[in-house]
Amino acid sequence: MRTPSGPRHSRSDPAPEPAPELAPRRRRIFSVKWVLLVLFGLFLLGAASLGVAFAMVSVPQPNDLANAQASIIYYAGGKTEMARISEVNRESVPLSQIPPHVQHALLAAEDRSFYQNNGVSPSGIARAVVVALKGGPTQGGSTITQQYLKNYFLTQDQTVSRKAKEFIISIKIDKQESKDTILTNYLNTIYYGRGAYGIQTAAKAYFGHDAAKLTIAEGALLASVIRGPSFYDPDLGPTQKAKATARMNYVLDGMVTQGWLSAQERAKVRFPDTLKTSGPRRSGTVGYITNEVKMELTNKLHLSKDDIDRGGLRIVTTISKKAQDSAVKAVARNLPSQKNTDLAKQLHVGLTAVRPGDGAIVAMYGGSDYGKRPFNNATEATMQGGSTFKVFGMLAAAQKDISTKTKYDGRSPQYFPEFVGKNEPRGKVTNFGFESFGRMTLRNALADSVNTVFAQLNIDLTDGGKSATEVKDAAILAGLPKPCPGTKPSRSCTLGLGNNMSNIFGTASPHVIDMANAFATIAAQGRRATPYLITKVTSVDGRIPDFEVKTKVTETFDKKVTADVTEAMTRVVTDGTGKAARALDRPAAGKTGTATDNKAVWFDGFTPQLAAAVGIVQGEGTKQITVDNIGEVTGGGLPTKIWTAFMKGALKGEEVKDFPRRVGLGDSRLPPPPPIPTKTTPPTATPTSTPTSTPTSTSSPTGTPTTPQPTTSDPTRPEPTRTRPTKPGPTLTVPPTAGAGQKAPAASAAP
């Protein structure tokens, strides 16, 4: 039997190796293919997901603060900025008002490839993450487009989903908006520190001028602080200045590298001087005006809080910077030092000046610091008017043809049944300091603030006390708001203005602004206006309709009435309780006022072109106003000095004007003056050659002496008798020797 051909092996020969198998290689090839297929599938899925995400993620609307701009308040004339109202202190400007070197400095600092990239920078994002992990400032890692997106459209959240959305939206925005638009919006929204959003506001905060005037050095510094204002604001300390210097050098070198700045120009650049950082703009005295402006925008123009805080309004006020500065200085220089006197610390001054016949508020002093005490002494504080209300009695009298030369008994005390009350059962009325005067005219009684005279006047005005409305009505006609319905004070009413006989002594408690307006009516010869602060309002984007004030004037008193009352009020200044105002050195009229127990003191007065009221009240309102080195404060003292100092500054350079001449209402009803005695010349004897023994008889006096009658002229005032009663307490306070007033509970008024 034949065996198969082939090599033969003995049993001792090793067995041949088996041939290699092909299955494992095939499995490996199969696995690689599947991996590639899976990866490709994942790629397709990722691409599809990215496409879906790109399609689904839309560019959002700008966030609430993206377009918000500060509303700016200007002094009268609209050129000098006073304050800003804002949630975001921003003032947007077009790219054309931003110098090219400022734009280039920004690009050198934040995104040198801005005009070439597609809005995103993966490497930049990676750098930002590393810097953030090291605790450094977070800005500077993204492109300008990404930063713009974060500030303009999105929130400041640092989440993966937010970053993914930012990446997609940045690409979309880069395709939808021009590079110039993105750069403009970025420059107007980025935060620069010091409360400043946007390049325009930052330029003013750091250098005090517009962005259009920024130098190369200033632009480079502003570009440097963007990365982290608290790290790079040079005013915050030497460490921050050193960092700002290094960062600024980086910016300038980048400008040279990019060809935006020559090496020669770079060598000339020095670190710029910056303004000192300032506190909140609403602090100090301006804060009171800012708050009043906001209230007028709300109540009169019916604007919303968002309109005011974010609308970019440009608000021109009636406030004269010269007059306002004068008000602040007048109070600061005349108000006594309050460091060592607890009571003096309670003194709160309110001042308002109004333009007669128009109502424009020229100056307003509501307090020394709104940030510490936001209660406005000029518009919110109520102060008992005291003897300032005697002016309203004079107006009511002139309306009834009662001459200002009418004479009354000025003795003190006197008793009137019309003034009987629970606090004064006998109806006693006394003068300030218990001074007594003889018979005197109304105008002299106003000058000396004689209570007993004005008690009699109010009895005459009210037909024997039957209806005590005349003084109240005259006050309302002049400009005081109507009486408050209850005992709760309000800005829109006058507390305590009633039909009581003592109303002529100023038992009501008006606001300073209302007294200024009432006296402005007299200065305007009877034409009453409504006080206002805003003359013009515009908005930067035109969303809010423009506003321009239209004043309304009402004639409430005849010119003859105000002419006679004004002449009487000038005597307060020339020879009365307010003679400290003679230092104004121009025609002025006014009236002092001191409330019961000296809890409030006033001087209200005017020239033909400006009326002003000054009121000082205590915080507690329970003690007499007494100040170290001055003693008891009355209307003829501290308030008059503040008023005079204010008016001097406010009217500096203004024309000196005279008041209208006195008309003499009611003078014809005065008793005629006593006849002037005729001088009789005795006959001259004719000499005769023959003397006679009979003496020549002398003629008897002709006429019978008559009782002297009142004259229409003001006689020389008799020297008043003065008593100085001891007051309870550890110290003796001596009232001023000049002037007269009322301290009885039933009839409270003082000069």
Distance from C-alpha of 358 to C-alpha of 320, rounded to nearest angstrom: 14
The catalytically annotated residue of 71, 142, 387, 403 is 387
- The tally of CA atoms less than 13 A away on the side-chain side of residue 12 is 0
Beta partners for residue 364, in sequence order: 352
SS3 call for 257: helix
Cα(222)–Cα(662) distance, rounded to whole angstroms? Answer: 65
In the residue annotation, 467 being an active-site residue is answered as: no
DSSP symbol at 59: P
Question: Residue with structure tokens 């043809």?
Answer: 401
Q: Where would I find the beta strands (DSSP E) of 188-238?
A: none
Active site residue 418: no
Residue 120 main-chain phi, psi, to 5 deg? -130, 160
Catalytic residue among 110, 166, 296, 424, which? 110
Rounded Cα distance between 718 and 136, Å, is 85
CA–CA separation, 644 vs 573, rounded Å?
11
Structure tokens at 412: 């003190």
Strand partners, 534: 317
Length of the chain: 751
Read off the amino acid at residue 233.
Answer: D
Dump strand ranges (E) for 595-634.
600-607, 610-618, 626-627, 631-632
Q: State whether residue 326 is helix, strand or coil.
A: helix
C-alpha angle 328-481-645 in degrees, rounded to nearest 5: 20
Helix axes 179-189, 144-152, angle to 10 degrees: 60
Residue 11 Cα distances to 4, 6, 14, 15, 18, angstroms: 17, 15, 8, 9, 18
Burial 328-360 (b: 16+ CB within 10 A, else e): bebbeebbeeeeeeebbebbbbbbbbbbbbbbb
The DSSP element (H or E) to which 134 belongs, if any, is none
Q: Rounded to whole angstroms, how far apart are CA atoms 71 and 368?
A: 24
| Strand 71-74, strand 313-317: pairing | parallel
Residue whose C-alpha is closest to residue 613's, from 512, 505, 474: 512
* CA 582, 585, 591, 592 torsion-angle sign: negative
Helices then strands, each counted (H, E), the chain = 21, 20
- Note whether 511 and 346 are within 8 A (CB): no
- Other C-beta atoms lying within 10 Å of the C-beta of residue 747: 29
Alpha carbon distance 89, 200 (integer Å): 10
Q: What is the 3-state secondary structure (H, E, C) of 384-409?
A: CCHHHHHHHHHHHHHHCCCCCCCEEE
- Are the beta carbons of 340 and 298 closer than 8 angstroms? no
**For 182-186, which contacts have Cβ atoms below 8 Å and span 24 or more sequence positions?**
182/144, 182/145, 182/148, 183/95, 183/103, 183/106, 183/114, 183/144, 184/94, 184/95, 184/98, 185/148, 185/152, 186/106, 186/144, 186/147, 186/148, 186/151, 186/152
Catalytic residues: 110, 387
